[in-house]
Structure 1
Amino acid sequence: MLVSQYNQILVVVSFVVAILAAYTALNMAARVAGSQGIAARVWLAGGGVAMGIGVWAMHFIGMLAMDISMSMSYSPAITVLSMVIAIGSSMFALWLVSGEQLRLRRLLPGALVMGTGIVAMHYTGMAALEVTPGIIWDKTWIALSVVIALAASLAALWLTFRLRHEAAQVALMRLGAAVTMGIAIAGMHYAGMKAAQFPASTEMHHDGINGSWLAVLVSVVALSILGITLLVSMLDARLQARTSLLASSLAEANRELAQLALHDTLTRLPNRILLEDRLDQAISKADREGTHFALMFMDLDGFKGVNDAYGHDTGDKLLVAVTERLLLPLKGQYTLARIGGDEFVLLAEVGGPDDAASLASALVRTIDSPFNVEPYELVVTVSIGIALYPHDGKSDRELMFNADAAMYHTKRMGRNGYHFFQPSMNTLAQTHLQLMNDLWLAIDRDELRLHYQPKFHAPAGPILGFEALLRWEHPKQGLLTPDVFLQLAEKTGLIIPIGNWVINEACRQLREWHMQGHSAWSMAVNLSTLQFEQPTLVQTVLDCLARHNLPAESLILEVTETTAMHNPEESVRILTELTNAGVKASIDDFGTGYSSLLYLKQLPACELKIDRAFVKDLSGESDDATIVSAIVALAKTLNLKVVAEGVETEAQQQFLTELGCNTLQGYLLGRPVTAQTVEELCNNLEAMKNPLPS
């Protein structure tokens, strides 16, 4: 027998190729499992070819590493056949581990097929050796090599399936598995080589491929193919990870957009859009299953006062606290939505009116206790209107409208409670809605009017100027006072264009009176809270004065004490800007709010206006008289003039004059009149002062 030795360098190269082939198999399994359709088939074919060439190259390099002191040649056809067997078994292995599951009944037959393929590849490659006489085989080593092949196949399939994912924590385990699998494959090969014995009389045929240069060629080609395959696989994995990250980020962004589009940003409750969708679903379900549900329209009582007195930040905190309270008694299928301001809507499945009443009562009770919103303890209540489906409406719009009408009925009946919708409520609700629609058209239809109430130098004249009072000449309802429509204007935002119209019309009329010779007259105009908060207010006022060529000091802007104290720093800034331009400022309804004397001192006002509530029941020893006396004393200390409104009796006129009020205004001296009757009023007053001789 010929004594065989091994080239140690080629043995090491064969081990490296085996490990690299195993690592390629693990990467290809991840690519196949993570792809679909054509991409999965491409990775299966490409990966099978690369892995098969790697396993075959390891086997062939191991054969070339054997040195038996003679030249060896190989049959090209049989050599190629052994490569085909290696590629086929590799494709089968990748296909087997790319499935979602790898149970034992699939793993064992798969390991048998793959192991048989590796054994067939090895011994077919050995058969490619062109020797005479043939190789003598040791059956013991052959059996051992077959057992090693089957065990290596079983371990390789199981490890490849378990480690096929691209998680970062798998990387080191994958490398270790590749080393283990490579050693197992090499061990099978060298066990098989040990089984081959060459007789001393062996002769080699030299018409095949010469092996002197083949080892280098096969090593370079195999390592190149495996390296390129691994590089492409890693780049694809990185691109897939980046794509997955971008897709995840996009999905998260879409979820956030959906959250913003369908939920209230403050309370995180569903908004009107999501509520309408849930309401449509509830109607469909109720029609399909014959069930009932209740729609409850809720509005907080006293919330506006909290906003005015403590600011919007405190109001927002209160809304969040109210939301938490409202959620407490809710169970089962429900949708609680905030549709704007302090308005909430609850959609809840109920068995009947009694269940709806019990739920509404629980909601009223849960709100009817103080809220601790640091540093304040705040009290608000809730008014609820209930509409039942299908009794109180067949569509979402009808249900919402009727629940809203029932809520307003609760407001009118004293608040802090609930009422079910009744058809009679619709009449008032429809009137309310029609009035709102008409108000939108009032400016375009030239239906707004100004009446003017004279302001007298105490005690009885002369006239110092007028206060402009808004009226609405409704085409059907006649002349309407602000208490009928001003709240609607505030709610809809129409107060901004209406307020701008009032300023412009008042300036126009005052200019007309100045041109008639009453150049000393001034004009007082009330500013609403919403109008006062507009960033364009100063420019609007100055534009009106310039348009009508009026001196700025002839215009007095009246701001309520509550409005001025809502944001004191901003109020000081706005009023300072106006007074620097020459416009006068008056603090209206003084004594009804929560003034800080520090800010009152800083406000650049020229006068305080005592609210009519203090003048109404004025007498020498009443509490109102004490308050009015204190207000007048305070005004004098701050060098402010005092205007008293609501003067209706001579006793009030005398008392206020004696206290030191500078200007009086009220029905006793002059009612609000149109611009056309102001001249007549002046003539009558002049006649009263200078009666004709009898």
Structure 2
Amino acid sequence: MQGTLQYWLAYLPLLAILAAPTAIATWFAIQLHRERVLRRRDGADYLTGLPTRRAAASVAAQAILDSKHSANEFAVIVLNVDRLKPINDSLGHQAGDELLLGLAQRLRAILGHNHVLARLAGDEFTIIARELKGPRDAETLVNKITEAVREPFVIASFDIHTSLTMGVSMYPLDGDTFDILLRRAEMALRVAKAASRGSYRFYALEMSNAADERLSLENDLRRAVELGQLELHYQPKVDIGTNRIRSAEALLRWRHPTRGLVPPNVFIPIAEDTGLIVQIGEWVLRESCRQVRAWIDSGMSPVRVAVNLSAKQFRHVDLVAVIRSALEEAQLQPGYLELELTESAIMDDAEKSASTLEFLSTMGVHISIDDFGTGYSSLSYLRRFPLDKLKIDRSFVRDLMSSPADASIVKAIISLAHNLRLRVVAEGVETAEQLGYLRELGCDQYQGFFCSPAVPPSAFEALLQKLRADLPELTEADMLRTQSRLSAFSPESASSDR
């Protein structure tokens, strides 16, 4: 009986194929999964065949023992493959896998048997570089690795250029266990990434201090919303022709109980990296709408408020539902809300972006492109998306009076926008000369320190009185735009759009 059972089990895959055409794919997928599991158990990466992190830890442990009985040191090098995601997006994940395979083969060829290459995960590798005399030997090896990947990889008939960004830690200088050395090499990698693609950094003590500081800020930031530590300041956008405030940009501030005002360039990247930006961004939307409603109820001339959306927030499945909820809670017309997005945020997935922006525009929400001129070189998206404004990046405005090139760029942006029936806002205006030149070029609005920095709501109210604010550019169409569609909207339809 047992022999008969084994016989039929041996032919079970063939019977499955005959019984169902799709079974062959399922069966092979199962076999592939089993092979990957077995290779992981054996300490080998399923794609490249390289050692895994666990195997690398064993190599490092032996290197530590060897170093204790010799004058040699060793290095832990963490490598990140640059531009893997764009390659996956444009040529497919198979091309990305081929790049990783080719890279692994090229690195193994130059490392030889004395150094061990392992794959940590995704686009990240590590090298245990043994029997070194010191950091100078490690630096020589890093430069050798950098040179090895300068030549392109030929994949799907394309020459693919990439680079490696690296972080390095040394035993025994930077730690006495593999976990510590790996963690500190990754700290150095983050610093290298922040500096420039294709660079490298050696671990230094101040990196640990910075990492501890960042972790402390992250923990505090997680509680900042519920403890009421976040607040919004408002920077006016002024009509250049009439000198009246047309709208305001809501800018986030964090008033920490012991640190005081934490600069946005410190805590916003932490919020982005941890995903907290979605929760914080929702609070900003609701608070901005609530503030405009408070100004209207107090009898002030209302202004449109502009809110910055991060790429993660824009891609979030609940975005449209959250915006609709914020407007309804504040009993605010959608035309009083403006969303500012960067070029890269909307181009990450252009089709989904077009669908989401079309829905928001139909609701009556205004859409602006922030930091225009610093992102995608292709301008075709300006016709694809329902936009209302372009914001000229402050980097072009800063040298407007001294750089003919920047002046030409600003003039070209204004002309392009007006031909597409878009309004233009210049950021970072600080002098009367800049403002006068922008007026000559036909720019519509400006914001910057020449009028005011971002200020708390009470100070902004004083600015409204000073600059004789009038109603924003809300047309009758803005006020009544597709209320029937808005009432018919459901969170489920928003999810399908995303």
Q: TM-score, normalised by structure 2?
A: 0.78
| C-alpha distance in structure 2 between counterparts of 1:621 and 1:393, whole Å | 50
* SS of structure 1 residue aligned to 2:127: strand
> Partner residue of 2:252?
470
Alignment of 1:485-504 (within 5 A): 485-504=267-286
| C-alpha distance in structure 2 between counterparts of 1:357 and 1:596, whole Å | 39
Matched, 1:436 2:218: yes
| C-alpha distance in structure 2 between counterparts of 1:375 and 1:504, whole Å | 50
Change (3 A) 1:591 1:279: same
Please point out which of 645, 656, 678 is paired with 2:438.
Answer: 656
Indicate the structure (1 or 2) with the bigger Cα radius of gyration: 1
| C-alpha distance in structure 1 between counterparts of 2:356 and 2:39, whole Å | 37
Matched, 1:345 2:126: yes
> Partner residue of 2:185?
403
Q: Is the CA contact (8 Å cut-off) linking 1:326 and 1:363 kept in structure 2? A: no
* SS of structure 1 residue aligned to 2:111: coil
Q: Is the CA contact (8 Å cut-off) linking 1:311 and 1:567 kept in structure 2? A: no
Alignment of 1:18-33 (within 5 A): none
Alignment of 1:636-675 (within 5 A): 636-675=418-457
> Partner residue of 1:590?
372
Q: What code does the residue aligned with 2:5 have?
A: L
> Partner residue of 1:530?
312
Change (3 A) 1:668 1:362: same
Matched, 1:298 2:63: no
How big is the shift at 1:287?
Answer: 5.1
> Partner residue of 2:479?
none
> Partner residue of 2:202?
420
Mark the runs of 5 or more structure 1 residues left unpaired by the alignment.
Answer: 1-234, 688-694
> Partner residue of 1:321?
99
Q: Deviations over 1:1-57 (max 9, x none)?
A: xxxxxxxxxxxxxxxxxxxxxxxxxxxxxxxxxxxxxxxxxxxxxxxxxxxxxxxxx
Q: What code does the residue aligned with 2:326 have?
A: C
How big is the shift at 1:466?
Answer: 0.7
| C-alpha distance in structure 2 between counterparts of 1:296 and 1:240, whole Å | 49
Change (3 A) 1:601 1:643: same
Q: What code does the residue aligned with 1:282 have?
A: V
> Partner residue of 2:59?
282
> Partner residue of 2:493?
none
Greater shift in the superposed pair: 673-682 or 246-255? 246-255
Q: Is the CA contact (8 Å cut-off) linking 2:116 and 2:127 kept in structure 1? A: yes
Q: TM-score, normalised by structure 1?
A: 0.57
Q: What code does the residue aligned with 1:453 have?
A: Q
> Partner residue of 1:116?
none
Change (3 A) 1:418 1:625: closer
> Partner residue of 1:242?
8
How big is the shift at 1:594?
Answer: 2.3
> Partner residue of 1:312?
89
| C-alpha distance in structure 2 between counterparts of 1:327 and 1:472, whole Å | 48
| C-alpha distance in structure 1 between counterparts of 2:270 and 2:314, whole Å | 17
Q: Is the CA contact (8 Å cut-off) linking 1:295 and 1:348 kept in structure 2? A: yes
* SS of structure 2 residue aligned to 1:465: strand
Change (3 A) 1:517 1:371: farther
> Partner residue of 1:629?
411
Greater shift in the superposed pair: 249-258 or 421-430? 249-258
- Identical residues among aligned pairs (%): 35
| C-alpha distance in structure 2 between counterparts of 1:361 and 1:510, whole Å | 56
How big is the shift at 1:583?
Answer: 0.8
* SS of structure 1 residue aligned to 2:226: coil
| C-alpha distance in structure 1 between counterparts of 2:279 and 2:449, whole Å | 30
Please point out which of 263, 268, 290 is paired with 1:481.
Answer: 263
How big is the shift at 1:675?
Answer: 1.7
How big is the shift at 1:379?
Answer: 5.5
> Partner residue of 2:489?
none
Q: Is the CA contact (8 Å cut-off) linking 1:459 and 1:654 kept in structure 2? A: no
Change (3 A) 1:257 1:429: same
Please point out which of 496, 507, 513 is paired with 2:295.
Answer: 513
| C-alpha distance in structure 1 between counterparts of 2:105 and 2:245, whole Å | 59
Change (3 A) 1:447 1:260: farther
Q: What code does the residue aligned with 2:390 have?
A: L
Q: What code does the residue aligned with 1:404 have?
A: E
Please point out which of 141, 150, 169 is paired with 1:387.
Answer: 169
How big is the shift at 1:430?
Answer: 2.5
Change (3 A) 1:627 1:327: same
Mark the runs of 5 or more structure 2 residues left unpaired by the alignment.
Answer: 14-26, 470-498
Matched, 1:255 2:6: no
Q: Deviations over 1:651-681 (max 9, x none)?
A: 1111212222221111101110012322233
Matched, 1:581 2:347: no
Please point out which of 347, 350, 354 is paired with 1:565.
Answer: 347
* SS of structure 2 residue aligned to 1:499: helix
How big is the shift at 1:500?
Answer: 1.7
Alignment of 1:65-80 (within 5 A): none
More helix by share: 1
How big is the shift at 1:434?
Answer: 2.8
Change (3 A) 1:457 1:416: same
How big is the shift at 1:268?
Answer: 4.9
Q: Is the CA contact (8 Å cut-off) linking 1:452 and 1:674 kept in structure 2? A: yes
How big is the shift at 1:612?
Answer: 1.2
Alignment of 1:26-175 (within 5 A): none
Q: What code does the residue aligned with 1:344 have?
A: F
Which of structures 1 and 2 has the larger relative contact order (alpha carbons within 8 angstroms, sep 6+)?
A: 2
| C-alpha distance in structure 2 between counterparts of 1:581 and 1:489, whole Å | 29
Q: Deviations over 1:95-137 (max 9, x none)?
A: xxxxxxxxxxxxxxxxxxxxxxxxxxxxxxxxxxxxxxxxxxx
How big is the shift at 1:555?
Answer: 0.5
Change (3 A) 1:322 1:259: closer
Q: Deviations over 1:571-626 (max 9, x none)?
A: 21110011111111111222222254443112111111111111111139812222
Q: Is the CA contact (8 Å cut-off) linking 2:292 and 2:302 kept in structure 1? A: no
How big is the shift at 1:355?
Answer: 4.4
How big is the shift at 1:311?
Answer: 8.0
Q: Deviations over 1:222-250 (max 9, x none)?
A: xxxxxxxxxxxxx5432123346779998
| C-alpha distance in structure 1 between counterparts of 2:463 and 2:97, whole Å | 51
Change (3 A) 1:680 1:404: same
Superposition RMSD in Å: 3.5
Q: Is the CA contact (8 Å cut-off) linking 2:374 and 2:393 kept in structure 1? A: yes
| C-alpha distance in structure 1 between counterparts of 2:458 and 2:38, whole Å | 58
How big is the shift at 1:496?
Answer: 1.7
Change (3 A) 1:355 1:553: same
Q: What code does the residue aligned with 1:237 have?
A: G
Q: Is the CA contact (8 Å cut-off) linking 1:361 and 1:417 kept in structure 2? A: no
How big is the shift at 1:410?
Answer: 4.1
Q: What code does the residue aligned with 1:520 have?
A: P
Q: Deviations over 1:178-234 (max 9, x none)?
A: xxxxxxxxxxxxxxxxxxxxxxxxxxxxxxxxxxxxxxxxxxxxxxxxxxxxxxxxx
Q: Is the CA contact (8 Å cut-off) linking 1:453 and 1:671 kept in structure 2? A: yes
Q: What code does the residue aligned with 1:325 have?
A: L
* SS of structure 2 residue aligned to 1:298: strand
Change (3 A) 1:417 1:609: closer
> Partner residue of 1:124?
none
Greater shift in the superposed pair: 317-326 or 472-481? 317-326
Give the total of aligned pairs. 444
Alignment of 1:2-17 (within 5 A): none
Q: What code does the residue aligned with 1:438 have?
A: D
| C-alpha distance in structure 2 between counterparts of 1:621 and 1:388, whole Å | 47
